Every structure is written in C-alpha cells, then in structure tokens.
C-alpha cells in the first residue's frame, strides 16, 4: 500500500512540474513585448543585408561583428574579415547594435 501511494505522489509531482513548464512556455510566447523585440531585431538584421552595412550581434556574452548576407526563419547568416560564413540561431541572440 505504501509503494502505491508513493507512485501516485510521484506521478502527481511530475504532472504538476510538466504543467508549470508548459504554462511558462506558452506565457512567454504570448508576450507582446517579446514579439516586438524580435521584430526590431529582424528589422535591424534585414537593414544590414539591404544596405550592406555591418552589425554587431551580442550572444551569450560574445560579440560578433558581421555583415548580414541572409536572414531566414531560424538563422542569420553573415560574413566578416575573418570568416566567409557565420551562422547564428536567432533564438540565441541577446541583442544587435548597428550604426547605419
């Protein structure tokens, strides 16, 4: 009887943790300020591509200076003097700075 109670308690805890993770994830996706930040980020990257001007991408404590060559749904591709191809996932970007 004790093992059955522990098993049910374990399943209940797992269900609660899973529910809180799903609720947190969907709440972040519905946040309008998060969507607005991504639009501004995409706009700056697209402007770099159109004007052939450089941007600095801030990601995970690193700064990557580059000119954007392609902007896809999940990735931005660019180049600089040291590398002919740089690919960065958009969801890993903390910020972008540019002086156009």
pLDDT of residue 91: 94
Mean pLDDT score, 38-51: 93
| Token pair for 16 | 């609660």
Torsion angle of alpha carbons 49, 87, 28, 48, nearest 10°? -10
Mean pLDDT of the chain: 81
- 38 pLDDT band, cuts 50/70/90, is confident
Mean pLDDT score, 1-30: 55
- 35 pLDDT band, cuts 50/70/90, is confident
């Amino acid at each position: 009887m004790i093992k059955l109670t522990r098993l049910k308690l374990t399943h209940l805890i797992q269900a609660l943790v899973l529910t809180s993770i799903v609720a947190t994830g969907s709440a972040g996706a519905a946040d309008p300020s998060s969507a607005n930040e991504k639009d501004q980020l995409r706009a700056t990257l697209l402007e770099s591509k159109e004007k052939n001007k450089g941007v600095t991408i801030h990601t995970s404590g690193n700064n990557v200076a580059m000119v954007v060559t392609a902007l896809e749904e999940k990735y931005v591709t660019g180049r600089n003097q040291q590398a002919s191809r740089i690919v960065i996932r958009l969801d890993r970007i903390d910020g972008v700075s540019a002086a156009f």
